[in-house]
Structure 1
Amino acid sequence: MLIGQLARRTGTSERQLRYYERVGLLTSTRQPNGYRTYDATAEQTVARIRALLAAGLPTQLIRQVLPCASADGSLRPCPGVLKNLRTQLTRLDERADELARARETLQRAIAHAETAG
């Protein structure tokens, strides 16, 4: 399938698909005219990539865990990446704490503005 077809089927832009390929998450072959072609598994691979990105994983870590991801983006035990997944979870927890503090600050500012005005 050509890149445009894959983009339509997955709801992903062609630019994003090229990026996935550039960083080693997706592979294609080149036709003599230079067009990229993708095999039948590309749709599932893109779905996994998007699910893992939505889970907050950086592309470098996705490249490590992608072979262990199921179609729904869930992960099976994958040798050598558990430490990296734990590190990423810690980062996400820290980010969630930062967002919670920022949210509280904003709520207080709104409440103060509403009572003052």
Structure 2
Amino acid sequence: MRIGELSRRTGVPARLLRYYEEQDLLHPERAANGYRTYDESAVRDVQQIRGLLDSGLTTEMIRALLPYLGGADAIHPEPECVSAETAALLRAHIDRIQARIDCLARNRDRLSAYLAAVRPRTDATAGR
């Protein structure tokens, strides 16, 4: 399939698909006329890349991780497959996610406490 069809099937603009190629995340074949051609697995690959980007991974991290992913939900389990550098990138990302979770939990707790403190006054004055 050509880039336009891949774009339609994944909902990812062609410009981004070319960017993923520049970042060494996608590897299309080139037809004699220079057009990019993708096989059916490219749909799954783009969906996987989008999912990883949406989870906050950088293209650098995805490039390091992609060789270890076997499909949309499969990861090669062999520990020797993951280099120390890749493991460190993932650990740092996990730490950043956890810091965001902790911050969100603190904010949720503060907002809940505030709402509990003001709600009796809000309920009492709502009938006026």
Q: Percent identity?
A: 42
How big is each residue's C-alpha offset from its partner over 1:16-38, in whole Å with a ceiling of 9 and x where there is no partner?
32332232211334556664332
1:1-117 aligned within 5 A: 1-30=1-30, 35-76=35-76, 77=78, 78-80=81-83, 81-117=86-122
Structure 1 gap segments, 5+ residues each: none
Structure 2-normalised TM-score?
A: 0.71
Residue 57 of structure 1 contacts residue 88 of structure 1 at CA under 8 Å; is this kept in 2?
yes
Aligned length: 117
CA gap of 1:110–1:31, structure 2 versus 1, over 3 A, is farther
Instruction: Give the whole-Å Cα distance in 1 for the aligned partners of 2:96 and 2:53.
Output: 14
Change (3 A) 1:102 1:32: farther
Unaligned runs of 5+ in 2: 123-128
* DSSP 3-state at the match of 1:72: coil
RMSD: 2.5
Larger Rg: 2
For residue 24 of structure 1, give the secondary structure of its aligned residue in structure 2.
Answer: coil
Instruction: Evaluate the alpha carbon distance shift between residue 4 and residue 96 of structure 1 in structure 2; reply closer, same or farther with a 3 A threshold.
Output: same
Query: Residue type of the partner of 2:93?
Result: Q
